[in-house]
């Protein structure tokens, strides 16, 4: 047995973890220039969902450079799965990182801005991937301090929102292809970069930043069931001078749009979070023709599964009533997409000490649940999961913009925090699970 791990075993659990953190931190500082290089490479070459060919190759090649031999590629099209065996083969824990980008034109003028026109890492997946590669490198250097195995899940297509309204999300496909088996992890961790947050207990509308070096978390519900719907209103075409001879699909659709908002304000329990948003509306051919068809597209966001089903029923009732009243008809395709993420309460409680050791207690901040959606939930439906926020804001550098915007960026110092926090969480979990 090597002397250092032996001495760590003789120490108290808290002291042993602190000693390991110090060893990790020294390695992270040495790794940091390479991690920045990797992050910028990925950021400059963003790829849309299900097109992550270059990114997945970069990931697989880097894992091979680090000495990984158990690597699977082509998972859920472009996913990569790798297994690291530490001092013991079991227990096992998983680390997930998404790799895809968004169809957004980057507006920041940085040396590493996107080279792919109209495509940008506006949600921080370049940082997620870099942090996971950093954890992989760190733990591969210190296998004797890893009390089990770590399965790395580099996921494609988290942002998959195809125009055809079909297809599945990367996490769901990865689970279907068996990534949560052989070996089955006992828990799964994921992180997401963020610049702006709403801390728990704060009710004002001011902008609050989660800075580089800070970590945010929510126990229990983290975000929403995020669903998509597509509605077609069928009317009857007529000349614009004689609307009485037709059925105006645009007028019917306008009434439907307003009525659907009544579900939140007047027809459901006000204590239940609900957002119904119409994001697209298309209809009509010419100014002087009464349209015979209008298409609507939007999202529904809820926390509770039973409440969600009730909202769907109310949408059908409203659409049926309005269209029948005007002699029109409707079709609605409603697709349940991301389930809500439920952070395992025990896993959160057990992990927070690791975060506090890494960044200090004042920099670990509880947040309120959000109404966004994230397909990490598919992994967390299989085993207990913890999805936390990695602060990336830096007001002095102008890094203050929210995700899915053309000005989004990351203070790269946050990469150190992401690697250190994830490594500490993973190793602490394996220590507990091995007892």
- Return the domain boundaries, the chain: 3-223+340-434, 225-338
Least Cα distance to 116 among 56, 176, 55, 46 occurs for: 46
The total of other beta-carbon atoms located within 10 Å of residue 375's CB is 27
In this prediction, residue 4 carries a pLDDT of 52
| Phi, psi (deg, nearest 5) at residue 274 | -155, 135
In this prediction, residue 103 carries a pLDDT of 95
Query: Cis before residue 383, ω within 30 degrees of 0?
Result: no
The total of other beta-carbon atoms located within 10 Å of residue 141's CB is 16
In this prediction, residue 307 carries a pLDDT of 95
In this prediction, residue 160 carries a pLDDT of 79
The catalytic site residues sit at: 338, 412
* CATH architecture type of domain 225-338: 2-Layer Sandwich (3.30)
Q: Give CATH for domain 3-223+340-434.
A: 3.40.630.10
Least Cα distance to 333 among 230, 256, 416 occurs for: 230
Please tell me whether the overall predicted TM-score, pTM, comes out greater than 0.85 for this model: yes
Which segments of the chain have a pLDDT < 50?
A: 1-3, 6, 9-10, 162-165
């Amino acid at each position: 047995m090597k002397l250092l791990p032996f001495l760590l075993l003789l120490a108290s659990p808290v002291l042993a973890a602190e000693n390991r953190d110090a060893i990790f931190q020294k390695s992270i500082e040495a790794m940091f220039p390479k991690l920045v290089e990797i992050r910028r490479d990925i950021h400059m070459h963003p790829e849309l969902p299900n097109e992550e060919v270059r990114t997945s190759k970069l990931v697989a090649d880097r894992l091979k450079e680090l000495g990984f031999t158990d690597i699977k590629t082509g998972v859920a099209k472009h996913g990569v799965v790798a297994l690291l065996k530490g001092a013991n083969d079991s227990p096992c824990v998983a680390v997930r990182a998404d790799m895809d980008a968004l169809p957004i034109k980057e507006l920041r003028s940085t040396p590493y801005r996107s080279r792919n026109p109209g495509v940008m890492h506006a949600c921080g997946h370049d940082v997620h991937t870099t942090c996971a590669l950093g954890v992989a490198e760190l733990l591969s250097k210190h296998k004797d301090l890893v009390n089990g195995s770590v399965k790395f899940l580099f996921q494609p297509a988290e942002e998959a929102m195809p125009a055809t309204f079909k297809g599945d999300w990367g996490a769901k496909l990865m689970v279907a292809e068996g990534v949560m088996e052989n070996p089955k992890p006992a828990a799964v961790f994921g992180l997401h970069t963020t610049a702006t947050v709403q801390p728990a207990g704060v009710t004002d509308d001011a902008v609050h930043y989660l800075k580089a070096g800070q970590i945010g978390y929510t126990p229990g519900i983290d975000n929403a069931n995020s669903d998509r719907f597509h509605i077609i209103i069928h009317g009857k075409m007529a000349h614009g001078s004689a609307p009485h001879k037709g059925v105006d699909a645009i007028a019917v659709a306008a009434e439907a749009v307003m009525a659907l908002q009544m579900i939140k304000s007047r027809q459901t329990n006000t204590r239940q979070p609900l957002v119904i948003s119409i994001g697209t509306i298309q209809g009509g051919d010419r100014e002087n023709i009464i349209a015979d068809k209008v298409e609507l597209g939007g999202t529904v966001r809820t926390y509770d599964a039973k409440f969600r089903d009730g909202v769907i029923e109310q949408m059908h009732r409203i659409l049926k009533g309005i269209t029948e009243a005007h002699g029109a008809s409707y079709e609605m395709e409603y697709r349940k997409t991301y389930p809500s993420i439920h952070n395992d309460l025990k896993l959160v409680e057990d992990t927070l000490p690791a975060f506090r050791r890494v960044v200090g207690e004042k920099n670990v901040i509880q947040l309120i649940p959000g109404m966004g959606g994230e397909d990490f939930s598919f992994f967390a439906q299989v085993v207990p999961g913890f999805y936390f926020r990695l602060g990336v804001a830096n007001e002095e550098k102008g890094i203050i913009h929210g995700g899915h915007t053309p000005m989004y960026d990351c203070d790269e110092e946050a990469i150190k925090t992401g690697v250190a926090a994830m490594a500490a969480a993973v190793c602490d979990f394996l220590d507990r699970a091995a007892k």
